Amino acid sequence: MIAGAGGNAGLTPRWDRVDSRRLIAVARRVYFKHLTTNGYQLDPCGVVINGEHDDGRVVFEMPTLLPEEQFISAELIGLRVKRTRNPRDRQRGGLS
């Protein structure tokens, strides 16, 4: 087993140890590059960023991370908008 890697434990970055602005910007860049090459397919659960190389990959299930990797959830980079399930609310223009 690789030290620091393991299942879903610790998937949220330690914000006190990383440059969050840079990390989220890299995650967005990786996601939008994915969109240009693959189009809209499934909703990803997030992006895994390799901190040593400022690159990453879009993931569709919870990853196991290597020590130099950070997981940025789809919600953190604004990929998912919570939508109402009630069609009447959409017609009125309201989101609850």
Enumerate residue ranges in the chain where pLDDT < 70: 1-10, 79-96
pLDDT at 58: 93
Q: Which amino acid is at 87?
A: P
How far, in Å, are 27, 35, 78 from residue 39 at the CA level? 17, 4, 17
**Do residues 5 and 66 lie in contact, with contact meaning Cβ atoms separated by under 8 Å?**
yes
pLDDT at 42: 77
Tokens of 9: 């434990």
pLDDT at 35: 86
